[in-house]
Structure 1
C-alpha cells in the first residue's frame, strides 16, 4: 500500500510535535506548566537553565501548539495550551515500566 502525500504530511506534523517534546528541559517545562502558568524566570529557576535557553525552548513548544502565553502588565506568562499532552507522559511512563519489567 502506498501512503498518500496528505497522510505523509500528517505524520510529519505529528513528528514535529513529538520532536518538540524530545528534550529533558522541555519535558521539565511542560511538567511545571501542568501546575499552572509561569514566567520565563520561574521556569529558568525550576529547570536550572539560563533565561535565554528557556525562552528558546518555550518558542519551540509554542510553535507546535503545546504552550501559549499571555501578557499581564510587564510580564509574560506561559501556560499549557494543550494539557492533553500530559496523557502522552502517562503512556511513556507505562512503556518505561513495561520495559523495566521485561528486563527483570
Structure 2
C-alpha cells in the first residue's frame, strides 16, 4: 500500500493529471505539454522529472527534440477511474 500511496501522491496535482491524460494519447515535448497546461516550460519539466523518477514516463530524443511518453501501463486504469468519478465536474 505504501507504493500505491506514493503513486497517488505523485499524481495528485492538476498539471500532472493533465500531462498524464495527454501522454496516454501519444508522445509530446515539454513545450507542447507546458502550453496545454498553461504553465512555463520549466514547471512542466519539473512535473515530468517527478513522474519520470517514479517510473511513470520515459523520454526519447528525436533530432533536437525530446518527447515524453508513458511506460507505466497502470496509469490508464488510474486515469479511467478518475475520469469516471470526476468528469462531470468539468
TM-score tier by shorter-chain length is: 0.7 to 0.9
Higher relative contact order (CA 8 A, sep 6+): 2
Q: CA deviation at 1:96?
A: 4.5
Matched residues, number: 88
Cα root mean square deviation, aligned = 1.8
Task: Output one character per residue of 1:8-45: Cα deviation in whole Å (capped at 9) or x when no partner.
Answer: xxx22221111111000000000111111000000011
In structure 1, the residue matched to 2:51 is: 61
Aligned to 2:35: 45
Q: Is the 8 A contact 2:21 2:79 kept in 1?
A: no
- Which TM-score applies when normalising by structure 1? 0.75
Q: Which runs of 5+ in 1 are unaligned?
A: 1-10, 98-104
- TM-score normalized with structure 2 length: 0.86
Give deviations 1:68-96, integer Å, cap 9, x for gaps: 11111211100011133121122234444
Aligned counterpart, 2:26: 36
Higher Rg of the two aligned structures:
1
